[in-house]
Amino acid sequence: MEQKKTTHFGFQEVPLEEKAHKVAEVFHSVASRYDLMNDLMSLGIHRLWKRFVIELSGIRPGMRVLDLAGGTGDLVKVFADRVGNKGQVVLADINSSMLEKGRERLTNLGKVGNISYVQANAESLPFPANYFDRITIAFGLRNVTQKETALHSMYQILKPGGQLLVLEFSKPAPWLAPAYDAYSFWALPRIGKWVTGDADSYRYLVESIRRHPDQETLCAMMQSAGFDHCDFHNLSQGIVALHRGYKY
């Protein structure tokens, strides 16, 4: 009898085909308070991390930009201004609740015309080859079941000369790790329960961070997917890292 393939869901091992559904349940649960929780969990610093992505992206008028796992649209609202009327920004998310929150928020901000919304799985992106000038994914790659497949899919739809930027939690400096672990495993689930009534989802999010590849491993994965000149920048002592890769 063939043994079922498994993958990690936080610290649990689950059948490969079940992970996407379990991750979806997490984000359906937290979507309504997602922005508030980001501010509380990071003490607002997530805004500075995303600003760093924006400045290093080099996005210019007329470009096509894809923001994967775009959630409530923090990056998209800035990208839409930068690409202008002749450019295009696509907010893509696998989760319908997050996608709807992003659409509602951006529409309320008057961001219409050059933004489109697509519910999509990063492992099989429904876009033409060599289509986007930039692809960004912020705090989403760790939730993808088969990261290597997703990175290859991103490479295929990026134009030659284009750039992928991955902002994700990573491995902090050793001196910071004990305090970071205490905050993550003790405080965050309690904040999640207080704000959203859902401690388990935030416990999963903490565990998913610990299971995510470290800086050097993710860099090697991007290179294996075809990206050139891969590098990374540690932010907040490595709590978060911004990885970049190019397609030539």
pLDDT digits (tens, 9 = 90+) for 129-176: 999 999 999 999 998 989 999 999 999 999 999 999 999 999 999 999
Pairing of strands 240-246, 158-169: antiparallel
| Matching residue, tokens 């290093």 | 56
pTM attached to this predicted model: 0.89
Helix and strand numbers (H, E) in the chain are 10, 9
Say how many residues make up the chain: 248
> Is 39 among the annotated ligand-binding positions?
no
Q: Judge residue 31's burial from the number of C-beta atoms within 10 Å of its C-beta, 0-12 exposed, 13-18 middle, 19 or more buried.
A: buried
Q: Is 121 annotated as a binding residue?
A: yes
Q: What is the pLDDT of residues 113-133, one digit of tens each?
A: 899 999 999 999 999 999 999
Q: Are 27 and 118 in contact (CB under 8 A)?
A: no
**Cα–Cα distance for residue pair 130/158, rounded to 1 Å:** 5
Q: Is 198 annotated as a binding residue?
A: no
Q: Which amino acid is at 214?
A: D
Query: Which domains occur in the chain, in start order?
Result: 18-170+214-246 (3.40.50.150)
Q: Which two tokens stand for residue 213?
A: 């590849």
Is 85 assigned a ligand-binding role in the annotation? no
pLDDT bucket at 73, cuts 50 / 70 / 90: very high
How far apart CA 92 and CA 94 sit, in angstroms, is: 7
Express each pLDDT in 170-190 by its tens digit: 999 999 999 999 988 888 888
Report the side by side order of strands in the sheet with 88-93: 115-119, 88-93, 64-68, 132-138, 158-169, 240-246, 228-235
